[in-house]
Amino acid sequence: MPCTTILVGKNASNDHSTMIARTDDGFYDVKKLIVVDPSKQPKKYKSVISHVEIDLPENPLRYTSCPSVDTKAGIWAATGINEANVGITATETITSNPRVLAADPLVTFQKPKNRRDKGTPGGIGEEDIVVLVLPYIRTAREGVERLAALLEKYGTYESNGIAFNDENEVWWMETIGGHHWMARRVPDEMCVIAPNQFGMDSFDLDDAFGERKYHLCSADLREFIAENHLDLNQNGRFNPRDIFGSRRDMDHIYNTPRAWFMGRYLTPYSHTWDGPEAEFHPESDNIPWALTPDRKVTAEDVKYLLSAHYQGTPYNPYTGQDTGKRGMYRSIGINRTGVTSICQIRPGVPGAARGVEWICFGPTTFAAMLPVYSHVSSMPDYLSRVTLDTSTENFYWASRLLSALCDPHYAACIQMIERYQAKVATEGRRIILEYDKKLAAGGGESLLEEANRKLCDMAKKAATETLNRVLLEATKQMKDGFNLADN
């Protein structure tokens, strides 16, 4: 599923929190945010797409989830934080190449050949990973290890990148063919940018097969590379992107420009991104996977990047200028996004308050991002009671309505949207600060659910007020308007 991911190490963020964030760019999927109690976690999991059945461990943890409201194609939980304050976002669809896929084919469901045949189950994929992994891990590293064991046993039917974070570490894992994988701990001072391509551009195999401190991989990865003549690197350099990834013309239109815009925002001074002397262009194949940002990164920065449409460049689809390049690259903020989340694990606050999940529904360009505490038994109705019918009574549909109304009237509506987004972020932070202090003063965990209700009441009021303004503006600009003075 085409998506965009940003990962932030604890020393790269303004408050020493770790953050993993992703746009879930599906097919206009209707999404909600819920809490899955251990009693509701299945004992045996069955995938809708691949038909694989997997027995699950005992004693799962409670966790948040962003499933699809319509479950006919599966749960598609997308992202979440569990009660041990471990986050996941799954998955970033990535690219591969024929050499890898021929050597280790993807494990796809084989349809029945006749009525007696049940078919052959496939592997696991984006539909399944959050449910299979998040309830059973207590650190980000454990997330990699559990998913690795599942991949090696069952395989996967697609190429994916998966992120995990806890209070101290962020890990990024990429699948290689049907059963192989590699993972890196994100350096604490760095940010990772991942736009639907195999991303890692360096990897320490000696560490992966030695101390395993910062690098993990399949036990036979060296042999797999050698036996299948996969290493394209010169002069002894090991670049996984060149070995396992793609180098297609389509990447230059669909993928790499997003990495260029994110890198340009994060490192405007330490790298040159524009002009004839630029180190990197929108179609460069060597844009770094990880960068040390020129200033500390905030949740608002992450939201801005995941809402981006090449603002300030000739490629902005909303520009009023005839640049000749308008809309030529795939934006980060895109119309078919179902949910965008930032899983933020914060130090220096009581344990129950450490996990904050920033949630944004629908196209990110026009939607607000709302922070909520994850260590709760349930989410307010405004986030969790979402139906397939359009309504202003929940955050998902309010966000979709705002986006559809504003897009054709961008110039007239964008200021209203920016004020709305700023209000939700500002008031959201104020409420989080208020309840952090209450909890630190000895308040009970029920305060977190009270805080989430207050956050949702605020967001609903702000969304409704903005809908009123935007609807009026869009109505004024309808093509069938007519006044006597028009004669």
Tens of pLDDT, residues 371-389? 999 999 999 999 999 999 9
pLDDT in tens, 173-214: 999 999 999 999 999 999 999 999 999 999 999 999 999 999
Buried b (16+ CB within 10 A) or exposed e, 108-134: bbeeeeeeeeeeebbbbbbbbbbbbbb
Confidence of residue 234 (pLDDT cuts 50, 70, 90): confident
* DSSP string computed for 157-204: SS-EEEEEE-SS-EEEEEEETTTEEEEEEPPTT-EEEESSS-------
- Of 3, 66, 191, 406, the catalytic one is 3
pTM of the model: 0.97
pLDDT digits (tens, 9 = 90+) for 163-184: 999 999 999 999 999 999 999 9
Average pLDDT in the 79-108 region? 98
Mean pLDDT of 304-314: 97
Confidence label for 64 from pLDDT (cuts 50, 70 and 90): very high
pLDDT at 487: 65
CA angle centred on 333, ends 327 and 337, rounded to 5°: 120
For residue 69, the tally of other CB atoms under 10 A from its CB is 15
Per-chain mean pLDDT for the chain: 97
In eight-state DSSP terms, residue 156 is B
Q: Does 66 participate in catalysis according to the annotation?
A: no
- Give me the domains of the chain, ranges plus CATH numbers: 3-365 (3.60.60), 387-478 (no CATH)
Q: pLDDT at position 484, please?
A: 76
Whether 77 has a pLDDT exceeding 70, the answer reads: yes
Tens of pLDDT, residues 424-483 = 999 999 999 999 999 999 888 899 999 999 999 999 999 999 999 999 999 999 999 888
Mean pLDDT of 254-261: 98
For residue 1, pLDDT over 80 is answered with no
Residue 272 has pLDDT above 90, yes or no: yes
The 10s digit of each residue's pLDDT in 2-59 is 899 999 999 999 999 999 999 999 999 999 999 999 999 999 999 999 999 999 999 9
Residue-level pLDDT at 236: 84
pLDDT at 118: 84
Measured CA to CA, the distance from residue 285 to residue 292 in angstroms comes to: 19
In sign, the C-alpha dihedral spanning 335, 174, 35, 457 is negative
CA 454 – CA 382 distance, rounded (Å): 11
Segment 237-249, tens digit of pLDDT: 899 999 999 999 9
Kindly give, in sequence order, each residue whose CB lies less than 8 Å from that of residue 19, ignoring residues fewer than 6 positions away.
6, 7, 8, 13, 165, 170, 297, 299, 302, 342, 343, 344
